[in-house]
Amino acid sequence: MPDINISGAIRLPKAVAKPKPASSPCAACTIRDLAVCSALEGTELDRLNAIRMPAQMTGGGTLFDEGATADYVYNLTVGTMKLYRLLPDGRRQITGFVYPGDFLGLANNGERAYTAEALSDISLCKFKRGQLENLFNEFPKLKDRLLGISRDELVAAQAQMLLLGRKTARERIASFIIATIERAELMGLPTNPIEVPMSRNDIGDYLGLTTETVSRTLTRLKQTKMISLPANKQIGIIDRDGLTKIAEGF
Amino acid sequence: MPDINISGAIRLPKAVAKPKPASSPCAACTIRDLAVCSALEGTELDRLNAIRMPAQMTGGGTLFDEGATADYVYNLTVGTMKLYRLLPDGRRQITGFVYPGDFLGLANNGERAYTAEALSDISLCKFKRGQLENLFNEFPKLKDRLLGISRDELVAAQAQMLLLGRKTARERIASFIIATIERAELMGLPTNPIEVPMSRNDIGDYLGLTTETVSRTLTRLKQTKMISLPANKQIGIIDRDGLTKIAEGF
DNA sequence: CGGGGTGTTGAACATATTCAACAACTGTGG
DNA sequence: CCACAGTTGTTGAATATGTTCAACACCCCG
């Protein structure tokens, strides 16, 4: 899977996060290079900062629910989130995870299409929808960015459809591991072992599998010496090329 | 599923197609109200027409292949297409169908993310990518449209992920039938029986099922008096509300 | 140290797949 | 216009992959 997030969360092209000398809150932001904000500089950034509201939430909290009115949009700065849709009997499909730098909440018709929940404690920049839209109109390059990103997201969504519709459990797990490695590379985080902040249950709901199948499949990948499971929420990569082959369906 | 197409093909908001008095090829176009072109009028339309190249293809033909360079974008005017991705061993996931008025081919990185194949004989308006992009820059309202549409597509893609990841065969087929009814309504086509131009195999590859399962499931829906199968490529709707309930997971 | 949640493992089961045969339909040529 | 061939669709039986139900282990975290 490419280095983009699917469905709702918007990520900007590759740029390694690096600390900024503090002068305004935005200029000091550690994930500025990853976020929408990277399209702006200098006084433009001040304009963004003027309409920015900082927000926090503890792990497990719900930022917004499917069906709610979409009055705000957000930019995640710290932590991880999950986006999901539910069926009436509780079956759940996680449509994407949100990482620092990702933008979320841009609903089209004013209604949220998914629930957004914090996996860990999170910090966000919060914007009133209309105010940010005004800024978008003022700085068209922001709009171009979003358009390009949306197309990338569509491509990622297609990859996920291929995964959900046609890949085996083994292939899905391998795809997930490879995608997680690629995201870690993109964000400049450790790539071996990789950090996997979500539960087995969440992984299952993302890959269209049950917790048990996720667990079993990981165990089998460990037995066949493709990965190791050194600690909770960590996966050690032993045979990346092998995993890639599996992920691609060979 | 909402009245939008997923993944790659771009549809504009609801508008019933109606014939236009002929004056320029675009002004006479029967699907103009459905297409991107609806954002333009008068002389703007002439500009579009100036860079437009008519194209045809017979059913079964491949418009472009996954991985090819994306030099052109297209607007389908007549016929139906399917978009798909393949795994090395031939497993296929159809990520969307393309109907008259849909826009397709806008690749981000210049490489096609999917194969586009004609289901029936088709006609298209073909544009050189760069030329159309210039026009987009000249008429920003086109860009706004595309941005909104892309978000709609993302929502549709999420719905499809929920379907592929969590719905039963019965629920998938019901969802597909309901979506097809809604599309027929949108396009002002007969809604009972509905026209289903794709094969069982294509339906299966779209819903993450096999041909046999599609066939069996349709038969069972017929036996339970929810649909009828009056002729090849047609489905009669007997209990739409029941189908909707099934599709939504009740 | 103890308890609740998370993760793992096992066995029985179910849904959809695979393999196979046949039926129906389409389109083509006699 | 009918016959035939190839394709598409349907149905059946056996099978497999992943699920469900259940028990247990692990491990943070109090």
Residue of B197, B57, B187 whose CA lies nearest to B122: B57
Residues B209-231 have a mean pLDDT of 97
- Structure tokens, A135: 């800024």
pLDDT (tens digit per residue) in A147-178: 888 898 999 999 999 999 999 999 999 999 99
* Span between the terminal Cα atoms of chain A, in Å: 15
Contact, B93 CB vs strand D, < 7 Å: no
CB contact under 8 A, B155 and A250: no
Higher pLDDT, A197 or A14: A197
Interface with A, mutate which of B162, B171, B207 (most A CBs under 10 A): B162
pLDDT of A237 over the 80 cut: yes
* Residue B94 and residue B206 in contact, taking contact as beta carbons nearer than 8 Å: yes
Report DSSP letters for B115-126, one per residue: EEEESS-EEEEE
**Torsion angle, alpha carbons of B227, B232, B234, B235, to 10:** 10
Fold of the CATH domain A168-247: Arc Repressor Mutant, subunit A (1.10.10)
- B250 contacts in A (CB within 8 Å)? 88
Over the stretch A24-37, which tens digit does the pLDDT of each residue have? Answer: 677 777 777 777 77
Tell me the pLDDT band of A19, cut-offs 50, 70 and 90: very low
Average pLDDT estimate for B177-195: 96
Mean pLDDT over A46-55 rounds to 91
**In chain B, where the domains are located:** 36-160, 167-248
- pLDDT for residue B110 is more than 50: yes
Nearest nucleotide by C1' position to the A199 CA atom: C6
By percentage, how much of chain B surpasses pLDDT 70? 90
CATH class of the region B167-248: mainly alpha
What order of strands is seen across the sheet that includes strand A122-128?
A53-57, A122-128, A72-78, A103-104
**Given the structure tokens 């992009």, which residue do they identify?**
B133
| Lowest-pLDDT range of A244-248, B26-30, B85-89 | B26-30
Does residue B146 register a pLDDT over 90?
no
Question: Model's pTM, two decimal places?
Answer: 0.91
- Indicate which of A151, A172, A176, A209 best probes the interface with B, i.e. most B CBs within 10 Å of its own CB: A151
| Mean pLDDT computed over A217-230 | 97
pLDDT at A20 over 60: no
Provide the shortest C-alpha distance from residue A63 to chain B (in Å).
18
Reply yes or no on whether the pLDDT at A22 is more than 80: no
Cβ–Cβ below 8 Å for A87 and B248: yes
Q: What is the mean pLDDT of chain A?
A: 89
Per-residue model confidence as pLDDT tens digits over A186-203: 999 999 999 999 999 999
* Residues 222-241, chain B, CB closer than 7 Å to nucleic strand D: 229, 232-233
| Total CB pairs under 8 A between chain A and B | 131
d(CA B193, CA B187): 15
The amino acid sitting at B85 is R
Which nucleotides of strand C lie within 7 A of protein CB?
Answer: 6-11, 15-20, 25-26
The reply to whether the CB atom of residue B210 sits less than 7 A from any atom in nucleic acid chain D is no
- Please report which helix (H) or strand (E) contains residue A151, including its range: helix A140-166
Which H or E run contains B232?
none
From the CA of B61, how many Å to the C1' of C28? 21
Whether domain B36-160 has CATH 3.40.50.150: the reply is no
Q: Taking all residues of chain B, what is their mean pLDDT, rounded to a whole number?
A: 89
pLDDT in tens, A62-84: 999 999 999 999 999 999 999 99
Q: Cα–Cα distance between A58 and A81 in angstroms, integer?
A: 11
